Structure 1
């Protein structure tokens, strides 16, 4: 069981850690490596908005006083955005901190945060069909598997199937369907 896991706003020092840990294939991991990207876009967003906005945001995942990753959310919809919006979630945990339940706890905390501070009814996340660790983490965090989205993600020179998960506001409180 990991030490106390918390979420907090990103600082400039965290950007250095993100760049160092997630900018290469080894740090990103086999399911999140999409090739090299310029770090300036994230730094620009941080300077302009602190990584919070109406279309989503980024928070640090901290274990005690040490940053061990980040969680993100961004707007998605299943129809017209004004009536069918939801949040899509993503996570990145630094390699040295993986496999200890931190991702499960961080995703649960992010779900609680978004249900407390936004009007979202639905949260969703997806992971590669081969990423069993993330599938277990999402399920332990309270997400429900909805199905397979075929050939949805281009990575490593080919298309990959993704497993779609969701959590409804009622699922978090225990009032919704399971």
Structure 2
């Protein structure tokens, strides 16, 4: 299949919530504890997950959701900032080269 990135749609919110808050889905290095259940909904309603200081895109493998990429502006000091970027691949797509095919 073809790996692509696309904006988050409203029906992606349960998928994102699972990947961000279910310890079995996050992976051993991405579990940061339980989050407010309404956090993603508020972000979606505010700016559709694409804002000036960060965003989320869905990793799509054809019509399937394979994960997401995110980025956030981090302030280093009064004069500068940097971008923090991350990627989470859904458990059912791990070990299949999903991230490598997109970056290649």
Q: TM-score range by the shorter chain?
A: 0.7 to 0.9
Q: CA deviation at 1:21?
A: 4.0
Structure 2 CA distance for aligned equivalents of residues 62 and 20 of structure 1? 16
Structure 2 CA distance for aligned equivalents of residues 64 and 48 of structure 1? 28
Structure 2 gaps of 5+ residues are none
Structure 1 gaps of 5+ residues are 109-140, 142-178
Structure 1 CA distance for aligned equivalents of residues 75 and 36 of structure 2? 27
Q: CA deviation at 1:23?
A: 2.2
SS of corresponding position for 1:18 = helix
Q: What is the aligned partner in structure 2 of residue 121 from structure 1?
A: none
Q: CA deviation at 1:86?
A: 2.5
Using CA pairs under 8 Å that are at least 6 residues apart, name the structure with larger relative contact order, 1 or 2: 2
Structure 2 CA distance for aligned equivalents of residues 46 and 38 of structure 1? 14
Q: CA deviation at 1:39?
A: 2.5
Structure 2 CA distance for aligned equivalents of residues 87 and 56 of structure 1? 8
Which of the numbers 40, 45, 69 marks the counterpart of 1:47? 45
SS of corresponding position for 1:38 = coil
- Give 4+ residue runs of structure 1 displaced > 4 Å after superposition: none
Q: CA deviation at 1:48?
A: 1.2
Q: What is the aligned partner in structure 2 of residue 87 from structure 1?
A: 83
Contact 2:6 2:59 in 1 (8 A): yes
TM-score for both structures, normalised by structure 2: 0.87
Q: What is the aligned partner in structure 1 of residue 32 from structure 2?
A: 34
Q: What is the aligned partner in structure 2 of residue 96 from structure 1?
A: 92
TM-score for both structures, normalised by structure 1: 0.53
Q: Rg: which structure is higher?
A: 1
Aligned residues: 104
SS of corresponding position for 2:31 = coil
